[in-house]
Amino acid sequence: MPSAYDPDPAALSALLAGEPAYRVRQLDEGLWRQLRRPIELTVLPKALRDRLEAALPPALRVVTESVCDAGRTTKWVFALHDDATIETVAMAYRDRVTVCISSQAGCAMGCTFCATGQAGFRRHLAAAELIEQVVAAARSVEPRRVSNVVFMGMGEPLANYDATIATLRALNERVGISARHLTVSTVGVAPAIERLAIDAPTVTLAVSLHAANDALRDTLVPLNRTYPLERLETACHQWNASTGRRMSFEWALIDGVNDRLRDADELAAIARRVRAHVNLIPLNPTPGYPTRGTPREGVERFRDALESHGVNATIRATRGREIDAACGQLAAVAGGKVPRRSRVGVEVSPVRGR
């Protein structure tokens, strides 16, 4: 299906065959810099605009748009051409606007604590479907500009490698977002981290660690059985060696599961070896994993333990909880949407025994 945001410029040139060369530039500028639809590009003759609009239908259809945090967080459920659904979140802060995009409809990695993982995999997204999420969010925050994009929505970006790389390039080179403000978050696909270090060495890498011993990580992140910690650590060293850039470890603090001092000691050891910064976020409970996140004092204790080992750690604020837009809560796989009532039931259910 042709798309206005096909990262291959040849796609647009083919549509403009027979037109003067400057029309290609006008269309490119209108789509990628001004983020307009073809029909809005009044610099083009009306007949051409109409033809382009018909030839390049939007890749995303809004199913729902929910707003919270006093208008600063917006979540969209978008339907794709085949009715697969994905979610995108825009978060406006004082100094930046961050868009969280999905790389797949669903996810095949099956992390037990993640709503997307619980819902299963539907398909990979095409690069244009990733890029259009940023464009849609960018249009909605105008006149502000999107400064940061994080691949932390639904799906595992490094399992959809080619589309992820094409998206990173297009967002940087054609939309103009700085590469270090593009963050790829991965559950730890070790060989793909090593490829990313070659193909996109200037982007930011976040590795979702959550456990620093194989026995525990095997239960939380099934991919750990394929790429256990030692293999993942090799990939992290490779990233450092070829990019010279510091990565971060994401750690969702789960009450009584990975928030004990022993866990902090194990995490500190690996974080020091690979010089990673640690981002801590209390787990958001999901229907399939109703354990609660670590309460605030425990989160602070864990952060202090890491810092006592010389590891930098940041406690991340959660956005979008009321609209199910928080980390790990995205689950809009067609047919897999969890009914609201059962979520509420889960939120009030007792904490799992230790």
Q: Under the rule (CB under 6 A), what is the footprint of ligand SF4?
A: 107, 109-111, 114, 116-117, 155-156, 187, 208
Closest CA to 97 of 50, 22, 148, 34: 148
Residue 243 binds ligand SAH (CB under 6 A): no
Tokens coding 220 = 């939380």
252 binds, among ligand SAH, ligand SF4, none (CB under 5 to 8 A by kind): ligand SAH
Closest residue to ligand SF4, judged by C-beta, is: 117
Long-range contacts of 302-307 (CB under 8 A, 24+ apart): 302/253, 302/259, 302/263, 302/264, 305/261, 305/264, 305/265, 305/268, 306/264, 306/267, 306/268, 306/271, 306/278
Which residue reads 């020091």 in tokens?
Answer: 272
Residue 133 binds ligand SAH (CB under 6 A): no
Question: Which one-letter DSSP state was computed for residue 324?
Answer: T
Between 229-243 and 190-199, two packed helices, what is the crossing angle to 10 degrees?
10
Residue 156 binds ligand SAH (CB under 6 A): yes
183 binds, among ligand SF4, ligand SAH, none (CB under 5 to 8 A by kind): none
Tokens coding 284 = 């958001």
Residue 77 binds ligand SAH (CB under 6 A): no
Query: Could you say which of 111, 114, 236, 327 is catalytic?
Result: 327
Q: Is 297 marked active-site?
A: no
Q: Strand locations in 248-332, DSSP E? A: 248-253, 277-282, 313-315
The least CB distance from residue 25 to ligand SF4, in Å, is: 38
The least CB distance from residue 286 to ligand SF4, in Å, is: 10
Identify residues 168-197 at the interface with ligand SAH (CB under 6 A). Answer: 185-187
Other beta carbons less than 10 A from residue 74's beta carbon: 22
What's the CA gap between 189 and 164, in Å, rounded? Answer: 14
Q: Is 87 marked active-site?
A: yes
**Residue 98, SS3 per DSSP:** strand
List the one residue from 30, 106, 320, 328 that touches ligand SAH (CB under 6 A). Answer: 328
Which residue reads 């696909």 in tokens?
Answer: 189
What's the CA gap between 43 and 25, in Å, rounded? Answer: 11
Residue 283 binds ligand SAH (CB under 6 A): yes
Closest residue to ligand SAH, judged by C-beta, is: 328
Q: Based on the number of CB atoms within 10 Å of its own CB, is 47 exposed (0-12), middle (13-18) or buried (19 or more)?
A: exposed
List the one residue from 281, 306, 311, 325 that touches ligand SAH (CB under 6 A). Answer: 281
List the one residue from 193, 212, 252, 271 that touches ligand SAH (CB under 6 A). Answer: 252
The least CB distance from residue 320 to ligand SF4, in Å, is: 16
Candidates 2-10, 21-29, 281-289, 341-349; binding stretch for ligand SAH (CB under 6 A): 281-289
The least CB distance from residue 45 to ligand SAH, in Å, is: 43
By the 8 A CB rule, do 75 and 88 touch? Answer: yes
The least CB distance from residue 259 to ligand SAH, in Å, is: 13
The least CB distance from residue 172 to ligand SAH, in Å, is: 19
Identify residues 90-129 at the interface with ligand SAH (CB under 6 A). Answer: 113-114
| Residues carrying an active site annotation | 87, 327
Where along the sequence are the contacts to ligand SAH (CB under 6 A)?
113-114, 152, 156, 185-187, 208, 250, 252, 281, 283-284, 286, 327-328
